[in-house]
Amino acid sequence: MSAVTREAVEACLRRFTDPHLDQDPVSAGCLREVEIQGGQVNVRLQLGYAAGLFKNGWAQMLQMALESLDGVDSARVQVDCLIESHQGQAQVPALAGVKNVIAVASGKGGVGKSTTAANLALALAREGARVGILDADIYGPSQGIMFGIAEGTRPQVREQKWFVPLEAHGVQVMSMAFLTDDNTPMVWRGPMVSGALLQLITQTAWNDLDYLVVDMPPGTGDIQLTLAQKVPVAGSVIVTTPQDLALLDAKKGVEMFRKVHIPVLGVVENMAVHICSNCGHAEHLFGEGGGEKLAAQYGVELLASLPLSMAIRMQADDGKPTTIADPESQIAMIYQDLARKVGARIAQAGQPAMPSIEISDD
């Protein structure tokens, strides 16, 4: 029986691809330790994204593979998660108490952006991350309803300077809806809205967050530009439906984030297919394959494709989005996979190098 070598252990690990990083753990830089004592092999991996529901199964799969190697009597694989700070824009100062800011955006309203943002935040929390969500849709805030926070609830104020975010389902929540009357419209011009957004972000006492999910208003206006210039966004997620009109606006969203040097992590396609609850017939009411075409056109990933489901709408309206209301459902599993992929893409993207300075004769 031949002695086990580190090379043999690494070769074995390279045969398996992490479905969220799209790389084997060695190539992805996740391997931290290999200890070989006779026929006993101990391996430690470190993932750069929250993967609480995935890591044990991943460790077990790799352990079984290592134990099939010649010369290995037993193996132990430990998988840890360490979430580090990342930001897209190189010259924007970090946000106190927040490691990574994720902007969830759409080119137009009505595509399920806020529902996606809520479920993404809750799914990240289920994976073991510390998560907050900021409702940056000043004109039409909805996260308070989705998180089941009673109308009229107000955040505490600390030292006459800081808003203390409310907490629901293990997620820190802040919204303009907590500071105003739900029935009073925000009849504000652009500069006032941008100022309110900055105040909400910088004067909220976020408590040691791994991820802050920002539910953006639809479009490519003042709030988006303010966020890009003043907040260290690690990456953006574009939400769309397969409909041609929605895709046209989503393209503008992708282009906007690229112009302000914020990585586009990928596209989420909502309402991709409707399955009849009576007969099971599948019908693409808003078109087919639109999200995939958009992702391919811009060289980004289709992170998730979700059905047009009454359950998603009802659960969000009831203050318990799908990820919490029915955590073992197929739809909830799609959101969990989305959360892990978003975290993995942030870990892979990191902060870009400083832009080069070009001098012309003009």
Segment 45-74, tens digit of pLDDT: 999 999 999 999 999 999 999 999 999 999
Distance of CA 292 to the CA centre of its chain: 18
For residues 337 and 362, which has the higher predicted lDDT (pLDDT)?
337
Q: Name, in order, each residue with C-beta under 8 angstroms of 126's C-beta and a sequence gap of 6 or more.
A: 52, 53, 323, 327, 336, 339
The pLDDT score that the predictor gives to residue 233 is 92
Helix, strand and coil percent figures for the chain, each rounded to 5: 35, 25, 45
For residue 89, the 8-state DSSP code is S
The pLDDT score that the predictor gives to residue 52 is 96
Instruction: Write out the CATH class of domain 98-349.
Output: alpha beta
Domain boundaries, the chain: 6-81, 98-349
The pLDDT score that the predictor gives to residue 287 is 52
User: Which CATH superfamily is 6-81 part of?
Assistant: Fe-S cluster assembly (FSCA) (3.30.300.130)
Please compute the mean of the pLDDT values over residues 217-238 and round it to a whole number: 84
Nearest CA among 235, 238, 233 for reference residue 219? 238
List pLDDT tens digits, range 155-202: 999 988 899 999 999 999 998 888 776 666 666 666 777 787 888 888
**What torsion, rounded to 10 degrees, do the Cα atoms 57, 129, 179, 200 define?**
-130
Backbone angles phi, psi at 28, to 5 degrees: -80, -5
Tokens 């007969």 map to which residue?
A: 279
List pLDDT tens digits, range 93-104: 888 899 999 999
The DSSP line for 103-152 is EEE-SSSSSSHHHHHHHHHHHHHHTT--EEEEE--SSS--HHHHTTPPTT
351 confidence band (pLDDT: 50, 70, 90):
very low
If phi > 0 it is left, if psi is from -120 to 50 it is alpha, else beta; for residue 299 that is: left
The pLDDT score that the predictor gives to residue 354 is 38
Q: Which residues of 290-319 are buried (b: 16+ CB within 10 A; e: fewer)?
A: bbebbbeebebebbbbbbbbeebeebbeeb
Nearest CA among 240, 235, 260, 231 for reference residue 341? 235
Backbone angles phi, psi at 78, to 5 degrees: -110, 130
